[in-house]
Structure 1
Amino acid sequence: MKALILTKESVSRLQRFGISDEWFSKFNLPSGNHGLKRVLIEGGLVYIIEDDLQSDEVETVVIRLGGKYSIFADGRPNASMLDRIIAASAAHFFASSQIPTNWKPYSENDVLSFYAGNHHTGKGARLNAKKNPNGSGDLYFFAYTKKTIQFDELGDGNSIYTVAKKHFAEAILTDGTLKEEDDTAGIVLSERLPHGFVQGADLNEWYEKKLTQEQRRFVDLPYDGPVRLRGAAGTGKTLALVIKMLMDSLAFENGNEPFRLCFVVHSQASVDLIQAISESLISQAKLREFTSGGGRIEIRTLYDLANHHLNFPLRELTPVSLDGVEGRHFQYDLIKIALKEGWGSPIFKSRYGGISQELSKRWKSSILDKDPAFIAELMNEFSSVIDAEGIRRGEETGEKYIKRGRRPNWLLALPAEIDRRFVLDVHAIYRKHLFDMNALSIDEMVADFDSFLDSNAWDRERQREGYDAIFVDELHLFTALEKQTLQKLVKRDFDIDGKPDRPSIFMAYDLKQSPRDSFIDYFAADGSILSAKSGLQNSELVQLNQVFRYTPQIAEFLKDLDSAFPAIDIPGEWDAYVGEAELPDAAVPTVERFDDVVKLLDGVFAEAKKLAKKIEGGGRRVAVLCVSEEIFDKYLPTLRGRFKSDAFLVDSREVTSELRHIGRRFVFSMPEYVAGLQFDTVFLVNVNRSEAPKNSGVGRRRQLISNTYLGASRAENRLHISSSDDEGGPSDVLDLAIDRGSLVEK
């Protein structure tokens, strides 16, 4: 075949389909009322267009097939590449969409290039497209390359595009090909959203009939100050935020008022989720209307906003990522390198031979890959304290940090001055590596962004470029410094007495879902999650208690697990779990012991494989979630080898957008990567005593319980927990649940 031709409309509708590798051999459509037809024109041109299309004067996407630079081919991540083509097409046709910056898009004249896949599937390959070929408004994907190459090496390549356009009118006039049952392999109609997220209801139906009393109260709140929306996992916080944003947008539009709203999230996967929820509640066309005239909705990561305003590429600086999750993983690896470099230096090692015994032990364990939690706690120290406050070795800020002995119990234990000096020197090595790469860490980028928002330049632009309101999901994943930037993004208005109005910021969160403690402000006198610097203190609170995404039995287990959380002194925030499940009764969660980790994974994978083959909705309804990062990383080769055809690896939040293509494979991931998703059955593995012994620090204990809480709350109907005796057996954080019967031994 020579080319696949799509219209602006049909490329968007393909988001409704789950597609596997078989589809890319014939590009057939399934039976059903989906409004599309497939036409094969002699010579190898496949058109997927609306079946009622009347004119060939529409914008198209042409994808080259066959030959040296064919876009799709065996052995490539074709389904995920198609998703990227769909996203790039939306960015080309609609001002409301952008190509995610972590795809590393690059444009030169009329040619566009970006990564063909994520770090796991793409391996540096790129998709190359021509914008507006032959003066049209079209997009022509003309080359797949295994690496970045000069555009002039790819040749002109317009001949296939020209032929495809020449036969477009013929395709419109031709009936679609007959759909034999065996010809539709590899494509099925599939929900883009996680199962049951909006339950098939549109915006008006949700607002009038489905919202709870508290959700409705939140949606109806005026723009007169910040509001916190707090609730346990599954209480509908994200959905309520999206409904409020859309209802407010429609109200502005109906009143002919210009508006600018921004939905700020922590990762690109969350951007995709919010867009999908929005498009399920109102039409895609209506959502895009909000970008025309005086109205605008933006859905972005905070880091994308920072990059947009600070223009790092023009200064030849490279942010490590514009995705919070991906950026934190990069920083984790760099801190690990810094620790190893210090350990390998006789001078450094001698200088810090007198650090606390526990700190020395954990330093050694971390470089042997035996204590990843230590690296995570150091990263927490960097983001929450050192980079947040611009603390530097050899400066006054550094000396104050070293001399300050009293520290909150949730931070890494650094009882002696030499311990804190050690941390500052590790941080200096870490920063040197960033400097050598001409790169900025996530925290450095946010610090620069915060400074920009205090500048005279932003003061001049704020009324034009700022927002009428900001909506923030997963506030618990934002650091103190990141929260500090939010109120500065809102337009500044004044009351009749000349006093500035409080910023309209609507924030959803659940502190117990955070795998890190970075949400707490280290320098806040009362340990508040919203310090005076954030400008968000004394915000109104709306509490959600009704749970819609898991059974009463799972809710009862979460209630008992909640009792194991070590207390953190956050006034009015660290309340007991109060979720009230609305789903029908189901089985009580179970816990099972295995002799060792290998037997555990073999047993659980076999059970998950069997369930994924028969459950309604396929493998995307079954997840194996590992709470141990060390074990997850160690056993990835096992997954990629023996279970490659049975399991779908999700090792970043970006990959979650590909779940509709996984067929009968089950999901293997960690709780953090699937936050916001829901599965019928969750196998929560390696909830082991060794992950956080009783004598370990508060931060480490809380991290294990948060990961267990987050993973368990992803289960809708069935939850199975497992541990291995070679790692100490079941963690004691499960003891109360076992004693009270909300978790039964298998």
Structure 2
Amino acid sequence: MNYILIDKFACQEIVQNSFFQNLGFLPAREIISLIKGDHGTLPGLSSKFTTAGLILTKENSLPSEDVVVLDLEHLRLTDSLNDNEVLVSLQKTLRFCMKHWDGLALSSSELYIKGSTKAVVFPLPFFANGNSFRITIEREPNARRLSKRTSGRYLLVYKSGRSEGDGVSEEASLTNFKKAYEDYSSLQNAVKNASPLPQTNPSIESINVTTLQTSNQIKIPEQGFDRWMHLLTDEQKNFVNSDWSVPHRLEGPAGTGKTLCLVLKAINILKHSINENSSHKALFVVPSDELAASIKDRFLGNGYGEYVTDTINEYLEKSQSITVITLQKLCAQLLNYDVSESELLDRDSVESKNTQLLYLDQIVSDIKSKDLPVLSSHLSPEFFNFLNSEDDWTIAHLLRHEVSIVIKGRANGQIDIYKSIPALEYGLPAKSQADKEYIFSKFQTYQNLLEQSNQYDIDDIVISAIGQLDTPIWRRRRQQLGFDSIYIDEVHHFNLNEISILHYLTKSPALVPISYGIDRSQAVGDIGWSDIEFQDALAGDADGKATINPVSAIFRSSTQIIELAFCVTTSGANLFTNFENPLASATETFTAEEEKKSAKPCVTYILDDEEIALQTYKQVDQMARSLQVSKSGVLVVIFDEQILSNVVEVWKKSNKAFKQLDRRGDFSAVDDANKAGCTIVSAPEFVGGLEFSGVILVGCDKGRLPQNAGASDFGKAYLNYRAHNNLYVAITRAKYRVEFIVNKNRGISEILRRAIEMKLLDDCKN
């Protein structure tokens, strides 16, 4: 096949239909097959094969006068690109054609070559094959002859590669174009002489278009199971339909629909059990109360709310049920409420860990003010220098990990066992036995503080619950009281202690019917976490490893935002050996209409921190107007506590309407903001799990992101690691726009320096 001719109406269908945007959908794979010369069927399009090529028009429509011809003999996209890159290149090329025909402005990756009738499209993002790959288009092929024969506007896509070729003097071969033109003219004449096309009911066509557009809105849970199955990518379908009785890991970056897939898999199993009239008890574990409420709403919106329970004992009354619960509440219920809510650091697992930090920060302050003067001769030089030079908050984070995972989890609170455990590669730099004895004494101080306030932390609760489950009584009752299947969302927020309890809750120790979603780029809580230890903690004595199902189709963010997020994660990938970059093969699924709303991320530079509050609110208003959304569709993330406090104070004094998040994934606060039509402001730690049309990031300056406080090599690396993760999470909350506000005197954070060099960030045009 030497050419593919696509008329304007077919181009419009391809760039607007979500199923043509990503190889996870069959229509997208079919169009790649056609480019390779194979036959395929495209929904909504008519395919006519000729002796030399293929003509694509829209079903039930007269052929358009405007046409683009792909000269496959010379274009040869499949020689140098993989299938995904070919699809992106085709989409970007057809979108340029639509802009050209409609007289619309071009994007930064499209340009008309001055002094010629050529145009060039740079279709690939920088992380795919570099941004120098180009596709060349002749805007007036065979112009003199066509001007006498047709009023249509023909385009010829005739070349691709990384070289500029002969520039403005380059002549495109017209051999295949002339064949395509003659074949298309014959088709047009045949249609004109044929009987009139059947009239299509406008309402049905409208419904079809609405259906295709809706397929991209992964954030809407109220679809119904059967409708969702039609809209999922193949990767997602494979996970939803996979065997529930074996461990299954769903991994992918933010915005790939991991939570939705976990819910649909649970619904799929419940649906099958209901149809078979068989009993099935499921457990859905989440890290926060807000996420639990959101998950329950998804079951309700998809018609299975009656099967959702709040307690693990409530399921005894139903043949089919799913208990949606936080890990902390689950453990409290397993302990038969021996621990009241007032004795928990917090009902929310995430907030409980933050409270731990406050206790440990107090201990670190005492170390600095009271202990250090007499410790220099007692501790190893490396550990003493670390305590003496490092920032308090950094030490508190590392001490929390040592207390939770190593002392409580691995050593069971026993000093002799703790002293025999090798130091973590990325843990506290304890080099001697004296170092470990000193750390253990601080652990005892922490436990004393908990006892004085009559509280238990999350690790105490989990380990105690495991103790009650790892008994002959539970092993005998496990078959009756255990769960048939278990689902864990955002597993990257749990540590090894928390994960370890779950394999005790299945009906059989030999089976691990556990499915879980993970985004390693968001995992900031357990720096020593490795896949081997995680697998051992999850599976217990069961044989076999979890099936890994990566998902790569990103439904939330535009190409420009994905590129920026990838740049951020790539620049931090060498900080820890357990880092995995989920964006390496990610692709967006935006249609042409959604792409119109998108823009390259940009930076506004200010000269004084005093300008930040008013400048931020001004940009919120401008972004909301530009995107035609309420101010609640714009999130403000501030990376410096002092700036956040100042912004909140100024906004209050000037009567600006806003909502401030004080918990991670606070969906109720977001709902309140939506009702009031006001913007949302937050620290980066609280924005996970949320989605907005646009995001404004404040305080991404040198010395603030990451903080300058880290003095030791490891302290700096740890703060750098957290800064990369927080920035990644904040950026990926945005669907269409990301803007930064940076103090020009400080300069932009080094984390974003590579993004500037790669020209992924422009100056904002205010």
Same fold (TM over 0.5): yes
Question: Are the equivalent residues in 2 in contact too, given 1:477–1:518 (CA < 8 A)?
Answer: no
Aligned to 2:720: 701
Q: Secondary structure of 1:625's partner?
A: strand
Summarize the Cα distance change of 1:723–1:577 in structure 2 as closer, same or farther, 3 Å threshold.
farther
Q: Give structure 2 stretches of 5+ with no counterpart.
A: 1-215
1:429 shift after superposition = 1.6
2:536 pairs with 531, 540, 553, which one? 531
1:416 shift after superposition = 5.5
Tell me the amino acid that sits aligned with residue 350 of structure 1.
V
- Whether 1:652 aligns to 2:663 is yes
Aligned to 1:204: 226
CA distance in 1, matches of 2:254, 2:304: 27
Question: Are the equivalent residues in 2 in contact too, given 1:609–1:646 (CA < 8 A)?
Answer: no
CA distance in 2, matches of 1:293, 1:580: 42
1:619 shift after superposition = 3.1
Question: Are the equivalent residues in 2 in contact too, given 1:621–1:681 (CA < 8 A)?
Answer: yes
Structural mapping, 1:201-240, within 5 Å: 201-207=223-229, 209-240=230-261
Question: Are the equivalent residues in 2 in contact too, given 1:227–1:539 (CA < 8 A)?
Answer: yes
2:458 pairs with 442, 454, 465, which one? 442
Tell me the amino acid that sits aligned with residue 748 of structure 2.
P
- Whether 1:567 aligns to 2:570 is no
1:482 shift after superposition = 1.2
1:675 shift after superposition = 1.3
CA distance in 1, matches of 2:433, 2:743: 39
Aligned to 2:743: 724
Structural mapping, 1:473-492, within 5 Å: 473-492=489-508
- Whether 1:555 aligns to 2:562 is yes
1:444 shift after superposition = 1.4
Deviates more, 1:286-295 or 1:446-455: 286-295
1:365 shift after superposition = 7.7
1:349 shift after superposition = 4.5
CA distance in 2, matches of 1:597, 1:545: 39
CA distance in 2, matches of 1:683, 1:284: 36
- CA deviations over 1:617-658 (Å, ceiling 9, x no partner): 523311111234x44665476267436642201011364323
CA distance in 2, matches of 1:634, 1:417: 43
Question: Are the equivalent residues in 1 in contact too, given 2:240–2:265 (CA < 8 A)?
Answer: yes
Q: Secondary structure of 1:563's partner?
A: helix
1:609 shift after superposition = 4.9
Structural mapping, 1:543-622, within 5 Å: 543-567=550-574, 573=580, 577-583=584-590, 584-585=594-595, 586-609=598-621, 611=623, 616-622=628-634
1:680 shift after superposition = 0.5
Question: Are the equivalent residues in 2 in contact too, given 1:517–1:699 (CA < 8 A)?
Answer: no
TM-score (norm. length: structure 2) = 0.63
Q: Secondary structure of 1:624's partner?
A: strand
CA distance in 1, matches of 2:460, 2:309: 33
Larger Rg: 2
Summarize the Cα distance change of 1:681–1:314 in structure 2 as closer, same or farther, 3 Å threshold.
closer
Question: Are the equivalent residues in 2 in contact too, given 1:226–1:503 (CA < 8 A)?
Answer: yes
CA distance in 2, matches of 1:702, 1:719: 21
Question: Are the equivalent residues in 1 in contact too, given 2:308–2:324 (CA < 8 A)?
Answer: no
Structural mapping, 1:307-318, within 5 Å: 307-313=332-338, 318=343
- Whether 1:669 aligns to 2:658 is no
Question: Are the equivalent residues in 2 in contact too, given 1:264–1:300 (CA < 8 A)?
Answer: yes
Tell me the amino acid that sits aligned with residue 472 of structure 2.
N
1:676 shift after superposition = 1.3
Tell me the amino acid that sits aligned with residue 619 of structure 2.
E
1:597 shift after superposition = 4.0
Question: Are the equivalent residues in 2 in contact too, given 1:228–1:540 (CA < 8 A)?
Answer: yes
Aligned to 2:762: 744
CA distance in 2, matches of 1:375, 1:632: 23
Summarize the Cα distance change of 1:333–1:532 in structure 2 as closer, same or farther, 3 Å threshold.
closer
CA distance in 2, matches of 1:720, 1:230: 28
1:472 pairs with 458, 466, 488, which one? 488
- Whether 1:254 aligns to 2:280 is no
Q: Secondary structure of 1:506's partner?
A: strand
Question: Are the equivalent residues in 2 in contact too, given 1:650–1:667 (CA < 8 A)?
Answer: yes
CA distance in 2, matches of 1:339, 1:636: 30
- Residue identity over aligned pairs, in percent, reads 22
Structural mapping, 1:162-177, within 5 Å: none
1:742 shift after superposition = 1.7
CA distance in 2, matches of 1:595, 1:356: 45
Aligned to 1:407: 424
- CA deviations over 1:307-335 (Å, ceiling 9, x no partner): 00113546898121231121012111111
Summarize the Cα distance change of 1:739–1:527 in structure 2 as closer, same or farther, 3 Å threshold.
farther
CA distance in 2, matches of 1:264, 1:588: 37
Summarize the Cα distance change of 1:296–1:326 in structure 2 as closer, same or farther, 3 Å threshold.
same
Aligned to 2:520: 511
1:541 shift after superposition = 0.5
Question: Are the equivalent residues in 1 in contact too, given 2:252–2:550 (CA < 8 A)?
Answer: yes
Question: Are the equivalent residues in 2 in contact too, given 1:202–1:280 (CA < 8 A)?
Answer: yes
- Whether 1:336 aligns to 2:357 is no
1:517 shift after superposition = 2.9
CA distance in 1, matches of 2:567, 2:500: 34
2:529 pairs with 513, 520, 545, which one? 520
Tell me the amino acid that sits aligned with residue 339 of structure 1.
V
RMSD (Å), alpha carbons: 3.3
CA distance in 2, matches of 1:590, 1:371: 34
Summarize the Cα distance change of 1:677–1:253 in structure 2 as closer, same or farther, 3 Å threshold.
same
Tell me the amino acid that sits aligned with residue 281 of structure 2.
R
Aligned to 2:692: 679
Aligned to 2:68: none
- Whether 1:276 aligns to 2:292 is no
Summarize the Cα distance change of 1:400–1:288 in structure 2 as closer, same or farther, 3 Å threshold.
closer
1:484 shift after superposition = 1.2
- CA deviations over 1:550-574 (Å, ceiling 9, x no partner): 1011111122222112336767955
Q: Secondary structure of 2:738's partner?
A: strand
CA distance in 2, matches of 1:339, 1:687: 27
Q: What count of residue pairs does the alignment treat as equivalent? A: 530
Q: Secondary structure of 1:429's partner?
A: helix
Aligned to 2:129: none
1:226 shift after superposition = 0.3
CA distance in 2, matches of 1:281, 1:233: 22
CA distance in 1, matches of 2:722, 2:579: 21
CA distance in 1, matches of 2:616, 2:625: 14
Question: Are the equivalent residues in 1 in contact too, given 2:406–2:418 (CA < 8 A)?
Answer: no
CA distance in 2, matches of 1:481, 1:386: 11
1:263 shift after superposition = 0.5
Question: Are the equivalent residues in 1 in contact too, given 2:249–2:546 (CA < 8 A)?
Answer: yes
1:707 shift after superposition = 0.5
1:715 shift after superposition = 0.4
CA distance in 2, matches of 1:681, 1:315: 41
Summarize the Cα distance change of 1:636–1:528 in structure 2 as closer, same or farther, 3 Å threshold.
farther
CA distance in 2, matches of 1:600, 1:360: 40
1:711 shift after superposition = 0.5
CA distance in 2, matches of 1:527, 1:638: 47
Tell me the amino acid that sits aligned with residue 531 of structure 1.
D
Summarize the Cα distance change of 1:418–1:259 in structure 2 as closer, same or farther, 3 Å threshold.
same
Q: Secondary structure of 1:529's partner?
A: helix
Q: Secondary structure of 2:689's partner?
A: coil
Q: Secondary structure of 1:689's partner?
A: coil
- CA deviations over 1:668-727 (Å, ceiling 9, x no partner): 11233221110001012222332336965432221110101010000000001233356x
CA distance in 2, matches of 1:595, 1:359: 40
CA distance in 1, matches of 2:374, 2:330: 44
- CA deviations over 1:451-474 (Å, ceiling 9, x no partner): 222122322332222100000001
Summarize the Cα distance change of 1:456–1:425 in structure 2 as closer, same or farther, 3 Å threshold.
same
1:305 shift after superposition = 0.7
Question: Are the equivalent residues in 1 in contact too, given 2:665–2:690 (CA < 8 A)?
Answer: no
Tell me the amino acid that sits aligned with residue 658 of structure 1.
A
